[in-house]
Structure 1
Amino acid sequence: MSKQSELPPLNPLHVFEVASRLLSFTKAATELNVTQSAVSRQIAALEAAINVKLFRREREGIALTECGEAYRKEVGPAFARILWATNEIRANRLSDPLQLRVYSSFAARWLIPRLPEFKSRHPGIELRMNTAVQPVDFGRDTVDIAIQFGAGNWPDISCRKIMDDEIQPVCSPEFYKQTGGIKTIDDLAKVQLISARLRSLDWKDWFAARGRSAPDGSFMEFPSSHLAYQAAAAGLGVAMGQLSLVESDVREGRLMYLFDGPVKRDMGYYAMWPKELSLSNNMRQFLNWLYAAAKR
């Protein structure tokens, strides 16, 4: 490519646009938040690159040469169009629906019941949610923020823990009465235990934390935690509850906790977004609300 067809250096060109609009290197330096000498160097670099004198010194300050004035008339509108296009993209990003990716059980049992509060605080932010258990791929999936379960060590992803993973057995009060009371860990061997396919280690980890082995009896398995908790509330057995997802059931009397407290695992629910992506205002508003809601 010949030198005549090359673009001039863009940073000096930007400095020229500001200085030619203000007709002052001092004012240009203030707008650009640099020193006056830096403005002078950038203008000199541009003049050297295009081999044209753009400014002349006068008693009152600086003035554009004839070539400089002709150049300003073309460059100024070009930068104005760039600024307009940039603001349009920013505005569209702010008005675009916020795309969420969430596990179905987390969505049904924790997030959706709290969304009316978010909508009342941020009526201008539209949310679109899809549910999936597969790990999110931000390069492939149309997702702004994902909420996933794990240890928080995903590569090339920014994340922040929303809540810890605390587990404790739960059953319906009616089932508890029917069994005559489930008061010791040994009593669990006499009742139907319920598990979720995607949380298959919960029972094993809970028993291990109490120095015991999980019973050999068969578990009634469901494809999701949401269905496992519904089965427990219907009186089909004892499920391993995630405290964050069963709290409303316990509060409203559909489920009750068994034994003396939860087991906390080294896992949790995390909000995730691409590491290279700067957060939009909508993303920031949603994440701030999410952290506050989880803390409450």
Structure 2
Amino acid sequence: MELIKRGGHRIPPLNPLRFFEVVARTQNLTLAAQELCVTQSAVSRQIAVLEAYLGVELFRRGRHGVSLTPIGKAYAEQVIPSFHNISAATARLLASSHGGMLRVRTYTTFASQWLIPRLPDFRSLHPDIDVDIVTGMRDVDFERDAVDLAIQAGVGDWTSARHDMLFYDRIDPVCSPAYLNTHAQGGDDLPALLRGRLLYSRYSHSHSDWEAWLDRNAMTAGTSASEWTGFSISMLAWQSAAAGLGVAMGQIAMLNEEFKLGNLLRPFNKPVRRDHAYYLLRPKQRTDLTKVKVFREWLLKCAAQTRADLDAAD
């Protein structure tokens, strides 16, 4: 009988070859049958099929079991490592798919203020998946950036990536309690806050937040004499506000901990929903690995809770 040809290579039937590998490795028909979950007679039949294909005797049958012939021993020395390599490669692939490292790209502020505080929950649910956060301001390019997922702000018009909306940005001015007492008489003169130092982020999606909030609340005229101080990222503006340096435009979803601790408060309590939302992006041309699927499912649940919290805070 002729050997099966695959891509120019002569390969015997793989099922009988697998049986041969187990028998050669265990040197015992009973153990081989147990590992393969079949009967001893089924093992013997598969070995006979392989010997017929190869035209050689691989095992000697005796009263005390089977033993490899010299030809069978030489063949086993090549076949057993091959199956070991296949097994190891499969284990690595499954580990990469189900666990291992998951690389997520997002903004420094989003990672620090929203994502990282929630990661212990994900870690407790999926201890086999390590989340590696990569921060950057420019839009993700899955062909360029070695990441599995990205979280970005936008209007949902990505054509090169699949995306899920997480939550819309809601903004409202924030300051420290001490700053409110000193510059607005404890809240009795809120317009005075707008005539003081206003802190803002120069980041492209945040630099117009003050303008949007002031316009929506018809307060633009009150800032004609204000002092403006810019920062590279929103987190620095909020830290400066907490330190009493002025009033910053806050993103409500990012400041839960600061509100709870009393480091920051919302003196006006007039939140404005921005057109931009946060989105989870993933490659359009790749099949989602298991680790990507479980992280996405978990993240969407977290985002749903944030949306509910934001609605309740309005």
Q: When the two structures are superposed, what TM-score results if normalisation uses the length of structure 1?
A: 0.70
**What whole-Å deviation, never above 9, does each CA across 1:229-277 have from its counterpart, x for those lacking one?**
0000011111110011112111211111122331001111111111112
Structure 2: stretches of 5+ with no match in the other structure: 16-52, 55-78, 306-314
Whether 2:229 is the aligned partner of 1:220: answer yes
Whether 2:239 is the aligned partner of 1:230: answer yes
Q: Aligned partners of 2:283 and 2:268: how far apart in 1? A: 41
| Residue 129 of structure 1: how far off its partner (Å) | 1.2
Query: Contact 1:183 / 1:259 at 8 angstroms: preserved in 2?
Result: no
Q: Aligned partners of 2:96 and 2:191: how far apart in 1? A: 60
1:239 aligned counterpart, secondary structure:
strand
Which amino acid in the other structure matches residue 263 of structure 1?
A: V
Query: Contact 2:190 / 2:267 at 8 angstroms: preserved in 1?
Result: no
1:206 aligned counterpart, secondary structure:
helix
1:163 aligned counterpart, secondary structure:
strand
* Percent identity for Structure 1 against Structure 2: 35
1:40-119 alignment, distance < 5 Å? 89-119=93-123
Which of 261, 265, 269 is equivalent to 2:278?
A: 269
1:256 aligned counterpart, secondary structure:
coil
Q: How big is the alpha-carbon RMSD for the aligned residues of Structure 1 and Structure 2?
A: 3.5
2:295 aligned counterpart, secondary structure:
helix
Query: Contact 1:103 / 1:148 at 8 angstroms: preserved in 2?
Result: yes
| Residue 93 of structure 1: how far off its partner (Å) | 3.2
1:94-173 alignment, distance < 5 Å? 94-173=98-177
Query: Contact 1:161 / 1:268 at 8 angstroms: preserved in 2?
Result: yes
| Residue 278 of structure 1: how far off its partner (Å) | 1.7
Query: Contact 2:97 / 2:289 at 8 angstroms: preserved in 1?
Result: yes
Which of 173, 188, 191 is equivalent to 2:196?
A: 191
Matched with 1:204 is 211
Which amino acid in the other structure matches residue 203 of structure 1?
A: W
Which amino acid in the other structure matches residue 168 of structure 1?
A: D
Whether 2:260 is the aligned partner of 1:260: answer no
1:278 aligned counterpart, secondary structure:
coil
2:220 aligned counterpart, secondary structure:
coil
Query: Contact 2:214 / 2:220 at 8 angstroms: preserved in 1?
Result: yes
Q: Aligned partners of 1:252 and 1:92: how far apart in 2? A: 40
Query: Contact 1:182 / 1:188 at 8 angstroms: preserved in 2?
Result: no
Query: Contact 2:180 / 2:267 at 8 angstroms: preserved in 1?
Result: no
Name the stretch that deviates more: 184-193 or 132-141: 184-193
Q: 1:91 to 1:121 in 2, by over 3 A?
A: closer
Q: 1:206 to 1:184 in 2, by over 3 A?
A: farther
Q: 1:185 to 1:294 in 2, by over 3 A?
A: same
Matched with 2:253 is 244
Query: Contact 2:106 / 2:152 at 8 angstroms: preserved in 1?
Result: yes
| Residue 173 of structure 1: how far off its partner (Å) | 0.7
Q: Aligned partners of 1:221 and 1:197: how far apart in 2? A: 6
| Residue 17 of structure 1: how far off its partner (Å) | 8.9
1:257 aligned counterpart, secondary structure:
coil
Q: Aligned partners of 1:95 and 1:251: how far apart in 2? A: 35
Which amino acid in the other structure matches residue 126 of structure 1?
A: D
Whether 2:301 is the aligned partner of 1:292: answer yes
